Structure 1
Amino acid sequence: MATLANFRPPYSIPNPPPDAIPELACYNSTMDLSNNIWRGGNVIGERVPLLSIQIAYSVLLSSIFHRIFKSFHLPLMVSQILSGAILSSSLMGRVPGIFNTLYRPEGILAVETFANLGVMYYVFLNGLEMNCDTIIRSSKKAITIALVCILIPMLGGAGFLALEHRVSGGSAKPTVSTKGYFFCCAILAVTGFPVVARLLSGLKILYTRLGKDALTAAMLIDAYGWIVFTILIPYSHDRGGKPLLSAICTFLFIVFCFYVVRPILTLIINRKIRLETWDSSGLLDVMVGLFICSSITDFLGAHHVVGAFVYGLILPSGKFADLMMEILDDVVTALIVPIYFASFGFRLHLEALWAVHNSVLFPVLMVLLLTIPKVLGSMLATFYFGMSARDGLGLGLLLNTKGIMAVIMLSVAWDKNLLDPYAFTIMMLAILFMTVLVSPLINVIYKPKLRFMQTQQRTVQKLRNDAELRVAVCVHNAHQATGMIHVLEATNATRISPLQVSVLHLVELTRHGTGLLVAQMDNPSSVQGESHYGSQEEFESISKAFEEFSEEYNAVRFETSSIVSTYESIHEDIYTVTQEKRANLVLLPFHKQLSSEGVLDTTNNAFSGINQNVMQQPPCSVGIFVNRGLDSLLKTKMSIIMIFIGGPDDREALSIAWRMAGHSCTMLHVVRLLLSGTEVAEEEKAFHSDSNGLLSTVMDSVMQKELDDEQILHFRHKGVHNNDSISYSEKEVKIETGEEIPLILNEIDKPGYDLYILGQGSGKNYTALQKLLEWCDNPELGAMGDIVASTSFGTSSSLLVVQQYSMERKPKGYRKKCSKRNDPAIL
């Protein structure tokens, strides 16, 4: 056994108790000179099985923790660190037999090599996720927030650490060198950009103003962290004047990579991507470049991860980055990196805290104090830019999130003997506390229900005539954008009542990382290179179409952005952006598209699931547009029919139709169906689910009838009498089974119309119409809308189905009905 006096491997535990894992102070260095290849005995027979057990333990336990913490949106890094902390000297590490089963001393070097290889790949992927162009184009606001959130934590952290050193110096005299203070201050200042991006995505605030500010500031702070890390590493070696030379050479190499290597690689890679000539040999060449850059920075005196990060940063984003993420991310993040984070957790040494202070209160107070400076700095910066205190607090919490950079810095400081066990444990607990604290507090600060409570008046019906109409338009492709523009044309935007359009290009996130690349781009169309998921050309076509639309109508303003998320959760991003834009109406495209034969063919069944999800609890009214070739008002006049039966959805649909009737090229015909019959007499029982509330159901039905009459009376008085292009008629219809409804619609449709406008819940209080919902192919359109959209109806009219916003909407039953009639995979 060879004692290691000055070398502390990643899994060593500082000052372990006498009965806890004494073997970690040394390991067997006996060499078998007869084995000229391995020079270490039977590597395959001894090291590989042990390494496999170590990997299996780290991956399995971190996966279990991650499943437990997933509902709290905690980063995977936290679970991986905790999996190692379980075997620390403070916990299960006190039982030598358990620890030695998994981490025998002779396997330390093998697992250390494996862990460092993993962190090199992980940092390389982090570099791929960042975008240099976005850093260069950062706004003054983002730069200011980043600078304040760097300087104040460094100064405040230094002050708190100095205070702690003075307070505890009389009892145990912790040994923290001057260089150790620099490392600690840098750790407090840095932010984990990839962790913040995934956290924002999980919390569904990535596309809000707060999310964009946090993401840009985190990216700038992360870039600063790498610069500081590149400087600190050479100076941690303590080699006289060489550290300065090492830092200068490293920066010169980085400049060479950006200005010489990057243009060459971008040209070669983009050409291969465009010609689709990528093969396994090309990817192998990319990996060789990773090892070369890492070796050069390590040779220059910096850390090898600096080269890996720079190499990932200079490679082109877009399709190539997607390809690399698809190949490497699952293996690196789920298989290799847990070993590195677990090694970080092994070093947790709670006994060091008790050795310095007899009470746990002071270490806890220190951890809390270390989290304050960045929150304080963020609130000061946001106050300067006129943001609310809540946004400042949320931004400060998000920027307190730590990532791989903080872990690497702390590990290097420990390996270089710059921190004693007490200071190391305090900083480790601070990293965990800051990262764990973010998600629960952000959920408390930004509760979706509280945000939506502020939007109860966000309907078209309650919008003043001289108020701006705000519409969020969701599209998947340029063809859908053209149809949506024709609907927006009909809304009659004027200088008195302008139209503000937020165009949301919905892109499916099928691979890890790409959503982060798109999300950080304020203007994706300005980014050169290949498209993300092939959506760049679509995005540019959509932007161009709306730009031409705004040029034709001076009262129209628009902004286009991409939302990249899984189809199962993209409706939550739509909610967030819609609330952020204070929209009155969300327009969604139908999942079927008009074919060359003149019939509606399904484009993607998943679009139907998105529409149904959006209609569950939206923050404003929702409209689904079924396009059967609706033409532009610049080319033809539009004939619109609105069928009114009753209910809040019909009142909202009438308000939209009335607004459209103000355009000089539209004609509106409103038909009110007065339903009667034996089924109508039982309408109170049709929708009543509370056995104790028969009287309330009747009263609600009476109130809805009064609101319907009031809306129709107002429409006839101010609309029909003042506009020759508006007509109104009533039709009394006796319904018994619901089979009469298609006959009625066929009779109404005889003159032919360009656009139908219907309420999604038309006639929901009538049992006959309620029964029709059970046979609907498209329940999101309602009973009447499903009939009009069906091929058997035979009309060539387009259709707009409207659902009015209501806080009292109960989505669970609707969701349950939908799941019975549709493929569960879609929902």
Structure 2
Amino acid sequence: MNSNPNETMFLSITPVDEATHRYTVCLAAPPHIVSDGLWGSAAANRKPMKSFLPLFELQVLLIFAITQICRLLLNPLGLPIFISQMLAGLILQACFALDPFASYMRLLFPYGTHDTITTISSIGFVLFIFINGVQMDFGLITRMGKRAWTIAISGLLVPIFCAISILSLFPFGHSGNYDDLVVALVSHTVISFAVISSFLNELQIQNSELGKLALSSALISDVLCTIVTSTGTAVMVTEDSNVKEVTRNILSLICMGILIPLVCRPAMLWIIKHTPEGRAVKDGYVYVIIVLLFILGWLSVKINQEFVLGAFILGLSVPEGPPLGSALVKKLNFFGTTFLLPIFVSISVLKADFSATHSSTSVMTMTFVVIFTHLVKIIACLVPSLYCNMPWRDALSLALILNTKGVVEIGLFCFLYDTKVIDGLGFGVMILSIMVVACIVQWSVKFLYDPSRKFAGYQKRNMMNLKPWSELRMLVCIHKPSHISSMIDVLDLCCPTTESPIIVEVLHLIELVGRALPIFIPHRLRRQASGLQHKSYSDDVILTFDIYEHDNPHAVSAYPCTAIAPPNLMHEDVCNLAFDKVASIIILPFHQRWSSDGEVQFDDKNIRTLNNRVLEISPCSVGILVTRASHQIRGSTTRLALIYLGGHDDEEALCIARRAIRNPEVNLVVYHLVFKEDDEWGQEVDDELEDVKHAHEHNIRYQQIIAKEGAQTAAFLSDIVKEHDFFLVGRRHGIESPQTDGLTDWSEFPELGVIGDFLASPDLESRASILVVQQQLSSKAHSGWLF
């Protein structure tokens, strides 16, 4: 330790045995926490750079600044977030070796403060493990298919057996530290659920079929690895241990693994039972669980286990999802994952030692073991995936995902380095291997896997290609209770009859909080399987559509489902369900809703993001419903208007209008906006409606409007907006015409199209609802990659 007392937090440093790096240090007791300020007493030696708190604040500030700069620079490359945190540690380490910065770095990071910031930031790592344990659905293991079990077990056992065979055949132990090679082998074989979950979340494929399979396999692997490593640690005999101590550790580990779930989980279920529905869990319960988290961590250390083991077992015992699981995640996520965890990653990387350049043979040997392990593991995961009839690109993507490394491995290597299982050079090589593997996997999966590819429009799924009296398959999406009545209005507008029935899939979308695995619940199948009515998040939705189906016998069949997913991945559930059920159209609620007096009741940006993504990749036609007021179409006259300019989207809206006028209580007016009076489109529309006119002369009217510019169109729409209760409009995305010239510049919501956006403007003071329709996109429109 080439340091003098002025560069440390110690008062004096006396070498005892420099060969073994043993020193006698003198530290003020109690240590200086808060300084006297820049102008304080120098005699008391309580200057800012000699006190722990000011130094800690400066260290955090510096790490945060470097991390954010690295993240800003690396973001265009699509690298994982933790890479910027690791790079910050490497930059700090490089500054210690550069002459212009070395003195400042010794001033900011004096010897004696590393342990302080490492200890504090380690709390972030513990909370990260606990949060991921809370988000795990442990009961999912019993519901896994054979495919997930096969992939997980094959990905664990095959690389270990192959690498052990290589290590036993070749004398790698003579070329370096043999413990480093074993650690490299085992650590690059195991799979961490927390790492896989974070990786899939960054790529936004957590809710895809591939993502769900990867999470299932990672859950199995993580639990098996935790059991094996904990047992191995307990039976490991050291110089100071004996049979009695080993037996005590094993029995304590078994008690911890059994008693925590048996005692804590029922207590937490009692808390949930005594929490009123819709209310948050009391803060007192949350604080008790947090205190219990650290007590169990202390007990884990007492039985020679890692501190995080108790946190992991307690996290698995917490019932996932709201209200308790989501409350714990919300309380701890920012402090643990967002604030402390990046500091822990940067400080851990700062410990790496790259100065031992003479050990090139050891570096090459470890590099070979790492590469060999990953190649074997890719093959071990790829073969069972292909055997289960997965597409080759998806199987390779899954194998790569299960090979990724991240924060959990960093924490593991840091623990092994602190306990002197591996040396500084081995720690540095493994840290670099994490960065390289994570970058390769992220880039490769982005290139190989496109979750929107299966939605390509090779099959016609729209209203226009339906036969006149065929059944209509629809998917309606509901986020809030206020959406239920408006979706019922759309179903009434489509006029379900026994001759032309409607099969409607009702999807209730709920934000995923407090768990990592998305959930899809088909309620009718669950009731048929159990014969009982289960309490559900979607009770109001289920009851309403059950009543609606009962009121329309043989005309409506409703199948309610619930999807609990992250907001940025909900479009996957919507498109998957529409694709599987061969729906012709998806009805989505608009992200804004107005009250009767024109005030905005809510404005949900997540709903708008969902609508835009569904419009881009939908396997069928899409309608966005802008609700002003609820119109009871059945039992009262509805004044329906269709704004027609031409194009596929307007033709799709026209098909909905043709179904609507089968209801004698719907009066339809088709406003055809043309550039000149003898427009050729006018005759075509008139011909399409000719047969309908004869059958429904009493409730349909066709009117041709001449509009040579956008201003004339806006003026006409302003005049008729209060004459109707419901508007049908085509989105006409990407189509320009003289009738809308100039209106695009004022468009606020492009997903509604030019006409739909104008009609939805609150300046018109209209109470009419609007359905904006986009016809199914062609296969070419789906050919782009979804990053």
TM-score norm. by structure 2 comes to: 0.77
Cα distance, 1:109–1:785 mapped onto 2, change above 3 Å = closer
Match of 1:396 in 2: 399
Query: How far apart are residue 439 of structure 1 and its match?
Result: 1.9
Partner of residue 624, structure 2: 624
Alpha-carbon RMSD across the aligned residues, in angstroms, is 4.9
Deviation at 1:92, TM superposition (A): 5.2
Q: Does the 8 Å contact 1:475/1:588 carry over to 2?
A: yes
Secondary structure at 2:112 match in 1: helix
Contact 2:156 2:189 in 1 (8 A): yes
Residue 600 of structure 2 aligns with which residue?
602
SS at 1:105 equivalent: coil
Query: What whole-Å deviation, never above 9, does each CA across 1:195-248 have from its counterpart, x for those lacking one?
Result: 332332332222221122222322332222322332232244533534454133
Structure 1 vs Structure 2: percent identity of aligned residues? 23
Give the match for residue 802 of structure 1.
773
Q: Any residues of structure 2 matched to 1:9-28 within 5 Å, and which?
A: 26=21, 28=23
Flag the 1:802–1:71 CA change in 2: closer, same or farther, 3 A. same
The answer as to 2:684 corresponding to 1:731 is no
Matches within 5 A, 1:288-303: 288-303=291-306
In structure 2, the CA distance between the partners of 1:765 and 1:295, relative to structure 1 (3 Å rule), is: closer
Aligned to 1:30: 25
Listed as ranges, the matches of 1:294-373 within 5 Å are 294-317=297-320, 318-350=322-354, 355-357=359-361, 366-373=369-376
Q: Equivalences for 1:93-242 in 2 at 5 Å? A: 93=97, 97=103, 100-159=106-165, 161-162=167-168, 166=170, 168=172, 172-177=174-179, 183-236=183-236, 238=238, 239-241=241-243, 242=245
Counterparts of 1:274 and 1:575, CA distance in 2 = 31
Given that residues 518 and 565 in structure 2 are in contact (C-alpha distance below 8 angstroms), is that contact kept between their aligned partners in structure 1? no
Aligned match of 1:430:
433
Judged with a 3 Å threshold, the aligned counterparts in structure 2 of structure 1 residues 56 and 133 are, in CA distance, closer, same or farther, namely: same
* Separation of aligned partners in 2, 1:119 and 1:763: 49
Q: CA separation in 2, counterparts of 1:545 and 1:196? A: 39
Which runs of structure 2 are paired with 1:449-460 in the superposition (5 Å)? 459-460=462-463
Aligned partners of 1:369, 1:783: CA distance in 2, in Å?
A: 57
Mean Cα deviation higher: 764-773 or 56-65: 764-773
Report SS of the residue matched to 1:207.
coil
What is the alpha-carbon distance in structure 1 between the residues aligned to residue 431 and residue 686 of structure 2?
67
What is the Cα deviation at residue 391 of structure 1?
A: 1.8
What is the match of residue 757 of structure 1?
728
The answer on whether the counterparts of 2:326 and 2:515 sit within 8 Å (CA) in structure 1 is no
Shift in alpha-carbon separation, 1:623–1:175, aligned structure 2, 3 A: same
Aligned residues: 735
Q: 1:470 to 1:346 in 2, by over 3 A?
A: farther
Shift of 1:394: 1.6
Cross-structure match for 2:382: 379
Range that drifts further, 195-204 or 579-588:
579-588
**Judging changes above 3 Å, is the alpha-carbon distance between structure 1 residues 546 and 429 closer, same or farther for their aligned structure 2 residues?**
farther
> 3-state SS of the aligned residue for 1:671?
strand
Q: Please give the alpha-carbon distance, in whole angstroms, between the structure 1 residues aligned to 2:580 and 2:389.
A: 17
Match of 1:82 in 2: 87
CA distance in 2, matches of 1:780, 1:225: 48
Q: Which amino acid aligns with 1:671?
A: V
AA aligned to 2:588 is L
Question: What residue ranges of structure 2 are gaps of 5+ in the alignment?
Answer: 4-16, 34-43, 527-534, 782-787
Cα deviations by residue, 1:416-459 (Å, 9 ceiling, x for unpaired): 44446665555444333332222211211134786665569554
Distance 1:331 1:394 in 2: 33
Compare 263-272 and 791-800 and name the one that shifted more. 791-800
- Secondary structure in 2 matching 1:402: coil
Deviation at 1:495, TM superposition (A): 10
CA deviation map 1:490-528 (0-9, x unaligned): 275989997463625164xxxxxx54626433449999x
* Residues 645-794 of structure 1 aligned to structure 2 (within 5 Å): 645-659=645-659, 669=668, 671=670, 673=672, 675-677=674-676, 713=687, 716=690, 730-735=702-707, 755-761=726-732, 766-772=737-743, 780-782=751-753, 784-785=755-756
CA spacing shift, 1:267–1:772, aligned 2, 3 Å: same
Do 2:731 and 2:751's aligned partners in 1 also have CA atoms closer than 8 Å?
Answer: yes
SS at match of 2:772: strand
The answer (yes or no) to whether the contact 1:493–1:556 under 8 Å persists in 2 is: no
Change (3 A) 1:668 1:558: farther
Change in 2 beyond 3 A, CA 1:792/1:422: closer
- Cα separation, 1, equivalents of 2:557 and 2:659: 15
Deviations 1:303-357 (A, max 9, x none): 1111122223323442344443334332323443334323432344456686243
Q: Which residue of 2 aligns with 1:477?
A: 480
Shift of 1:256: 0.6
Contact 1:645–1:762 under 8 Å retained in 2 = no
Q: CA deviation at 1:477?
A: 0.7
Moved more, 272-281 or 452-461: 272-281
Partner residue in 1 for 2:444:
441
CA distance in 2, matches of 1:62, 1:786: 41
- Structure 1 residues 25 and 283, CA gap change in structure 2 (3 angstroms): farther
**1:184 touches 1:410 (CA, 8 Å); kept in 2?**
no
Deviates more, 1:270-279 or 1:210-219: 270-279
- TM-aligned CA deviation for residue 764 of structure 1: 6.6
Query: What is the one-letter code of the residue matched to 2:518?
Result: Q
| SS at structure 2 position matched to 1:800 | strand
For residues 89 and 762 of structure 2, the distance between their equivalents in structure 1, rounded to whole angstroms, comes to 61
CA contact (8 A) 2:672 2:704 kept: yes
Alignment partner, residue 564 of structure 2: 562
Aligned to 1:262: 265
**CA distance 1:748–1:427, shift in 2 (3 Å):** closer
Distance 1:295 1:222 in 2: 22
Q: Is the 8 A contact 1:645 1:674 kept in 2?
A: yes
The C-alpha deviation readout for 1:150-200, integer Å capped at 9, x for no partner, is 33343344345556xx2645xx532325xx776545423333323332332
Q: Amino acid of the residue matched to residue 741 of structure 2? A: Q
